Structure formats: C-alpha cells, structure tokens
Amino acid sequence: MAMSCYVSPHLQIQHLSQHHHQHRINNLLVQQQHQQHKFPTSQNLIFPTQYNHCRLFAFPLRRPNFTLNALHSDPPNPEEVGTNQAYQEWDSLTSKFSGAANLPFLLLQMPQILLNARNLIAGNNTALFAIPWLGMLTSLLGNLSLLSYFAKKREKEAMVVQTLGVISTYVVIVQLALAESMPLPYFLATSAVVVSGLFLNFMNYFGLLNAGIWRFWEDFITIGGLSVLPQIMWSTFVPYLPNSILPGAISFVIAVLAVTMARTGKLSEKGVKFVGGISGWTATLLFMWMPVSQMWTNFLNPENMKGLSAFSMLLAMLGNGLMLPRALFIRDFMWFTGSTWATIFYGYGNLACLFLLNIISKEFFLAATVGLVSWIGTAFWRDSVVRGYSSPLASLRDLIFGS
C-alpha cells in the first residue's frame, strides 16, 4: 500500500512504500530539523495526510494568503492604509467637505436674523412672538451636545459647524429676549449655559480642562438632553395628546438616576459606556425629530407649505449632505445616521412635499434628486476605493457592524 506525503514547498510529492521506506521518512525529518536549526513547522517538515497515525501535527496545512471571504477584499492593514496617498487625500477632502457645511448653515440662519433685526428696529416686537423660543432653546442644547461630542473626538471641522450653530441660534435667542418674547430668567440661564459650554468645550479640546469639570459638563448635557427629547416628541402631537410635562419629568428622574449610578460605580462597564453615549444620541435624535415635526405639521396644514422656502430646504440638504462623507470615512454611525436623516427627510423630504403640491418645478426637484443620489453614491464608492474594497457595500458593513 502506498501513501502520499507532503514535504516542504520546494520538494516534490513522493510515493513510498509504507513498510519498506518508513525509515527514510524519519531520517529526512531529522536531517531537515538539524539543517535549519529550528522547531518543526508547516513549512519545513513532511506532512503525511492519509493516515492519522502518520500526522506530525494536529493542525491542518494552510495555503499562504488564503482568503476566507471571496466577495470582498480583506480589510487593509491600518499601517498600510495610513501611508496610502489616496487614503490621506480622501481624509483631507472629507474634512474640507465637513468644514464647507458652515456656508449653507450660515445662509440658512442669516435671513431669519436679518428679518428679526429689521422688526426690532421698526419696533415691531410682536412679529418675533411667532418664533417659539422653546424650539430655539432645544436646537441650542442639541448644538452644544454635539459640540461636546465632536470636541471629545477632536473633529475640528465638525466642531466649527456646531459652534456656528450655537452662536447663530443664540443670536436669535438674544433677539427674542429683546422683544420680550423669551422670559428674562430663562434668557439669563441660557446665556450662562452657552458661555460655559463654549468655554469648557474649547478648553477641553486644547487639553486645558480638569477631567472632573469635564465629567460634570457631560453629566449636565446628558440629563438636559434626555429630559428635553421625550418632552419635545410628546408636544409635537398636542392637542391629539394631552398637554403635559410628565414625559420630561419622568425622563429627568431617569437621567439623574442613570448618571448617578454610572458615577458611583453601580453600573457595569457596558452600562457606563451606554450612559456616556446618551448625550450624543439625544442631540442627534433631537435634530432627527425636526423633520418629523415639520412633516406632521405639513400633514395637518398642507396650505402652510406655501410659506416654506424651497431654497432653505435645499440649504439644509446641502449642509447635512456635505458632512456625510466624513461621517462615513471615520465610521461614526451616530453622526452618519443624524446627517443622513436630516439630508433625506428634512431637506429632500420637504422638497418632495413642495413638488407634490406643485410649489416647485419638476426640473428643480429632479436636479435635487440626481444631485443627492450622485453625492451619496460617490461618497460610498470613493470610500471603498481608498480602503481597497471591491464593493461600496463593504463600507456600509464597516459603518454598521465595525471593521
């Protein structure tokens, strides 16, 4: 009976008689070990494969560079990626896209600021009562929470976007206070929070802040965000739901309890991480709720859509869309979710409503549709190219499940 034996990659397969030539196999093994002066490995020893009693090791032979998943390329080595010129160029370009989002967001807020200024100069303070100060306060809290989130991640361009959001929203709040639309005690408290928030975030970014003070700030925005979010959601559907502060009060108690347990070591490591991520997610969900609220208003009062500016909705779509490539590139699922939601459901969604009501032209809506689809497709395609993937779906998989 003959047996087949694998030798080193440089030797050919030999067909030997098991009974007459077994000693030749043993001698060959010993010679190879002495010549190479190293322990037996899968690269320098004979591997008989047909009989279990002849196997030298329990592990199977492996081919070099064997790929388990044939549908996608293996994730590139981080060190190799870091030196890849295309990767570095896309890294720089996505940062610039994120920073460029400041322009549409600034243009989005400036008309309201200028209109408020004209009304204040003309003594028409009652016109500013049409702007809900509670909604502006919610937006301000969301910007501050996201500013803290990006400061911790050291995403400079995204920090600038959120800082601009804080300042522009605060300018509107100042105008509301001058018109006496916003109660003075609430304005003073808001001002203290804004000044403290900006100071603490930038001190933390430059590494000049005590860790204990930063934790206190994080706890504050966590409790604030978790308290406001359910209340805003509930208030959207009033009068179909009874007007009540109960959702916010219950959420406030839960938030205080969760933060206290996290800081006193009563939660597991996963629980502490979960509580630490609440502020970012609540801020994201606050902004994600804005299109839901707008669409609910559109559903109840379709005629009010005539007062909605198509240019403003286009700016909202552009501003959020410009941040999508960066969120995808750094694999920030929360940032990507919020930006995608605002791009599609707030900006593009309201443009779709305007088109269905024949308020904007077919050409305008078609151009916005083609531009949005092309932009998102290009972001996924380019991300997959610089990472060496064969499909843009691999980038989506990394974003959701991790690489």
Round to whole Å and give the CA distance between 350 and 71: 38
Round to whole Å and give the CA distance between 227 and 230: 7
Residue 278 token pair? 């609440």
* b (16+ CB within 10 A) / e for 338-350: bbbbbbbbbbbbb
The per-residue pLDDT for 274 is: 86
In order along the chain (403 residues), what is the average pLDDT of each group of 10 residues? 40 42 49 46 41 39 36 40 78 94 89 90 88 81 88 89 92 93 91 94 90 90 88 85 91 93 88 83 82 76 73 91 95 92 90 89 96 96 93 92 72
Rounded to 5 degrees, φ, ψ at 58 are -85, -20
Round to whole Å and give the CA distance between 341 and 282: 14
Question: 383 near 326, Cβ under 8 Å?
Answer: no
Cα–Cα distances (Å) from 393 to 73, 151, 181, 397, in that order, read 12, 30, 50, 6
pTM over 0.85: no
Round to whole Å and give the CA distance between 218 and 241: 32
Angle at 370 between CA 364 and CA 375, to 5 degrees: 125
Q: Which DSSP letter does residue 305 get?
A: G
The per-residue pLDDT for 83 is: 52
Residue 12 has, within 13 A of its CA and on its CB side, a CA count of 3
Per-residue pLDDT tens over the stretch 185-243: 999 999 999 999 999 999 998 889 998 999 899 899 889 888 888 988 888 888 788 98
The per-residue pLDDT for 26 is: 53
Residue 20 token pair? 């007459």
Residues 6+ positions from 65 with CB-CB distance below 8 Å: none
Cα–Cα distances (Å) from 326 to 91, 309, 380, in that order, read 8, 28, 11
Angle at 229 between CA 228 and CA 233, to 5 degrees: 115
Nearest to 357 by CA among 396, 308, 393, 318: 308
Residue 194 token pair? 């804004």
Beta bridge partners, 2, equal 17
> How far, in whole angstroms, is CA 329 from its chain's centroid?
10
Amino acid at position 308, single letter: L
Within 10 angstroms of residue 219's Cβ, the number of other Cβ atoms is 20
Residue 339 token pair? 């930006």
Question: 48 near 3, Cβ under 8 Å?
Answer: yes
The per-residue pLDDT for 104 is: 93
